């Protein structure tokens, strides 16, 4: 859908073609929330980490450890997908092996 120059001038809040929406960008040395959280958790003693994880939902801890895959991607799977989980991990997390 091509716009005429007049249409685009009448909507100044839209980004201009070829112009960055964030020309300054993120300042160098700025840490992401993910990086800050990782540093915080890495800095905990074993006892502090145990106390921290005890206060979390076990499913959330599982997702943190294994990675939470994107759920918004639709993909067709042909055949059977088998995932094996050790009995110890399954029992510890209340799931069927």
In the chain, DSSP finds a helix count (H) and a strand count (E) of 5, 0
**Between residues 3 and 54, which one has the greater pLDDT?**
54
CB neighbour list of residue 52: distance below 8 Å, 6 or more residues apart: 41, 44
The per-residue pLDDT for range 5-47, each reduced to its tens digit, is 666 667 767 777 777 777 777 788 888 888 898 899 899 999 9
Q: Which two tokens stand for residue 8?
A: 């685009």
Least Cα distance to 93 among 49, 63, 48 occurs for 63
Neighbours of 93 (CB within 10 A): 13
At 46-71, the pLDDT tens digits run 999 889 888 988 888 888 788 766 66
């Amino acid at each position: 859908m091509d716009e005429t120059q007049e249409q685009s001038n009448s909507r100044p809040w839209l980004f201009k073609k070829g112009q960055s929406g964030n020309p300054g960008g993120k300042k160098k040395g700025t840490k992401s929330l993910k990086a800050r959280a990782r540093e915080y958790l890495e800095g905990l003693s074993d006892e502090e980490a145990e106390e921290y994880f005890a206060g979390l939902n076990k499913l959330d801890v599982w997702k943190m450890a294994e990675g939470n895959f994107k759920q918004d991607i639709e993909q067709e799977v042909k055949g059977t997908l088998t995932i094996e989980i050790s009995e110890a991990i399954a029992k510890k997390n209340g799931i069927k092996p």
